[in-house]
Amino acid sequence: MAYPVFVKPVIGGDSIGIDDLSIAFNKEQLSAKVEQIANILNCDVIVESYLPGREFSVGILENENSGVLTAMPIEIIAPENNHGQRVLNFNVKRLDQEEVIQVKNKRLHEKLSALGKSAFVALGGRSFGRIDVKLCPKGLPHFIEANLMPGLSKGYFYRSCAMNLGMTYDEMILLLCRNRLDGC
């Protein structure tokens, strides 16, 4: 695999174990990050090609009666670190330092929505979920990971509903409950 690579734990959520050292530019940095994760989180790691492009989360709502999927992409912009990189890590999320904005470019919105829906279906998602996507240097969207049981706090899933559908938090919760009850 060509460097740089991105190194993250196989377990956990909320970007636990991800920090500025997660981007490894050589074998020594890779080994150090693998060792750090093993020592602190006591788990294996995922090593993947590093995509330096923009980051998105695509909220997915399934109408359980019709099966129709609604995709709701948002862009997540982490602050630049000392190396000029944007790493959406645990502390950035915990301190709410990232900017979350609506995807207004229609073509990009369509591409992100199509990828989000395809990933949701391929992974057997049901009811609602969140698909994380990054753009490669050519601007093409790439699947990063899925959260098929996203938290219902006022995090990325809620923000995708609010920005794309104009929902309040209470409206989102009621929609999820009604949808699930109607689907039974």
Q: Are residues 109 and 18 in the same domain?
A: no
Query: For residue 77, which phi and psi values (nearest 5 degrees)?
Result: -115, 105
Q: Are residues 45 and 63 in the same domain?
A: no
Q: Give the pLDDT confidence score for residue 131 in this predicted structure.
A: 98
CATH number for 143:
3.30.470.20
Q: Give the pLDDT confidence score for residue 94 in this predicted structure.
A: 87
Q: Give the pLDDT confidence score for residue 128 in this predicted structure.
A: 96
Q: Are residues 10 and 72 in the same domain?
A: no
Burial 92-121 (b: 16+ CB within 10 A, else e): bbeeeebebeebeeeebbebbbebbbebbe
Q: Give the pLDDT confidence score for residue 179 in this predicted structure.
A: 84
Q: Are residues 26 and 69 in the same domain?
A: no
Q: Give the pLDDT confidence score for residue 183 in this predicted structure.
A: 60
The tokens of 38 are what? 């093993």
Residue 83 CA to residue 5 CA, distance in Å, equals 15
Q: Give the pLDDT confidence score for residue 24 in this predicted structure.
A: 96
pLDDT tens-place values along the chain, 184 residues long: 799 999 999 987 778 889 999 999 999 999 999 999 999 999 999 999 999 899 999 999 999 889 999 999 999 999 999 888 999 988 898 889 999 999 999 999 999 999 999 999 999 999 999 999 999 989 999 999 999 999 888 889 999 999 999 999 999 999 999 887 776 5
What is the count of structural domains for the chain?
2
